[in-house]
Amino acid sequence: MNLLEKIKDAGVIGAGGAGFPTHIKLKCKVEVLIINGAECEPLLKTDQYLMRERTEELVEAIEMAGKEVGAEKIYLAVKKKYGKEIEALKSTIARRDSPIQLFFLDNFFPAGDEQVLVYEVTGRTVPPGGIPLQSKALVSNVGTMINIYEALQGKPVTHKYIAVLGEVKDPKLLKVPVGTSAARCIAAAGGPLTEDYCVIMGGPMMGQIIDDVDIHHKVIKKTDSALIVLDKDHYIVKRNRTPMAHIINQSKSACIQCRFCTDLCPRYLIGHPLRPHKIMGAIATKTIEDEAFREALICCDCGICELYACPMGLSPRLVNGYLKGELRKRGIAFHSPGTAVIPSESRDYRKIPVNRLIARIGLEKYTYQMVDSVEEIQADQVSIPLRQHIGVAAEAMVAVGDWVERGQCIGKIEDGKLGANIHASIGGRVTAVGQAIDIKQEEGVME
């Protein structure tokens, strides 16, 4: 069985983004392989842990991936401030005489955006609406590489590293079975410090906000990286909970066309034709089919425009998200103008410092939460979605009442379909099969 077959069998997908199936992503040839170790979102810690504590496995997997895609150069991009991680990586790379080169990034947001990363490392701009492959580059991340290493040992993806931060009694890094409820993870971190709270699944800039009443139903997927507990009155929560009709009315009446949202937009700064201020100006007078709105389709949803740039407290990101949905309903796609892509000469002076961003969005007190080691927790029941990835859902391979072992394939993707296999993260009895497969351990029976 070759590398791609092992990766497919193990159900490896992108561990930090949209969850693109890795066995398909690596089925190409590129000049440059870039591994993202930037830990893009503020506060997150899991990739730093993996680079520091699982260095040997990480380097081996990167080398294997580099050979698979025929990369002439292999870079692991990390922030300059990651002192312990850099020390561990340098030592391992030197001992193995590895072809991997470390690339050092400044501490700015969003350094881990894959198109920003391609520009930082190679100086090339990915075409607007395109993918790194069009610039002869491939980007993957640290968590995915660790899962590739496990796949080479015959181990499928059954667990996930999660940071539980914010308003919790005992902030922690956890290793949890895929399908574990968010509530179980928060309880493992001592529980919330406040009665009225929300949870961000993911990073504070781009994560999904869920209510406290929903945390028992929300589960950890292969792509999740953090749970951040915040008070319901927190600035980030309020901004994301504003009704779209109100956001649009605000945009119509309060946008002063200052250009700050555009001038600080990371995609605009690498030369893409994305001008949020133009979109905000057009929302008052134009119809949804207007050409100006198509630029919203290349927005990366980083949130700089709304949480950092706008002096009026408007939400270009949420407007862009709304427009994306409406345009796709109408079958309207982005078409590159075909003009030369020229990065802004001011780009180096407009990168957003992460420390300043954290202060601006009211998260500064959480930067002191120390989560350097990992605690593995058990779950007596899980609900494992059959679609945790880009593509079609896996087809259930089990029925209610079946006994499954940890690591057993319970959802399989058909040959030729875009998707990924799904595996049981605990041993137990199947109690439900639908969009997810529920498994419960039976009393007195150990895995």
CATH number, domain containing residue 127: 3.40.50.11540
**Average pLDDT over every residue of 344-367:** 96
440 & 353 share domain: no
Domain range holding 356? 241-360
**Average pLDDT over every residue of 369-389:** 95
14 & 133 share domain: yes
Give me the chain's average pLDDT, please: 95
**What would the pLDDT profile of 268-299 be if each residue is shown by its tens digit?**
999 999 999 999 999 877 777 788 899 999 99
319 & 279 share domain: yes
Cβ–Cβ < 8 Å for 92, 119: no
177 & 128 share domain: no
pLDDT value at position 445? 55
Within 10 angstroms of residue 191's Cβ, the number of other Cβ atoms is 13
Amino acid at 52: R
pLDDT value at position 57? 98
Three-state DSSP state, 319: helix
pLDDT value at position 377? 96
* Exposed e or buried b per residue across 112-148, where buried means at least 16 C-beta atoms within 10 angstroms of its C-beta: bbbbbbbbbbbebbbbbbbbbeebbbbbbbbbbbbbb
pLDDT value at position 340? 78
434 & 370 share domain: no
220 & 303 share domain: no
Angle at 378 between CA 23 and CA 53, to 5 degrees: 60
| DSSP calls for 24-64 | HHTSS--SEEEEEES--STT--HHHHHHHHSHHHHHHHHHH
**Between the CA of residue 16 and those of 75, 202, 339, 415, what are the distances in Å?**
18, 9, 32, 25
pLDDT above 80: residue 108: yes
Choose one of 303, 327, 360: the last residue of a domain.
360
pLDDT above 70: residue 169: yes
Q: SS3 letters for 358-420? A: HHHCCCHHHHHCCCCCEEECCCCEEEEECCCCCCCCCEECCCCCCEECCCCEEEECCCCCCCC
27 & 138 share domain: yes
Cβ–Cβ < 8 Å for 447, 158: no
pLDDT value at position 117? 98
Q: Residue 388: CB partners within 8 Å, gap ≥ 6?
A: 13, 19, 178, 221, 222, 223, 420, 422
pLDDT above 70: residue 360: yes
Choose one of 130, 152, 174: the last residue of a domain.
152
| DSSP calls for 84-105 | HHHHHHHHHHHHHT-SEEEEEE
CATH number, domain containing residue 184: 3.10.20.600
Choose one of 152, 186, 214: the last residue of a domain.
152
What is the total count of domains within the chain?
4
142 & 205 share domain: no
Amino acid at 412: K
pLDDT value at position 95? 98
CATH number, domain containing residue 424: 2.40.50.100
pLDDT above 90: residue 62: yes
| Residues facing 37 on adjacent strands | 78
14 & 140 share domain: yes
Rounded Cα gap, residues 170 and 305, in angstroms: 33
pLDDT value at position 149? 99
Secondary structure tally for the chain: helices H, strands E: 16, 19
Three-state DSSP state, 108: strand
128 & 163 share domain: no
108 & 13 share domain: yes
57 & 144 share domain: yes
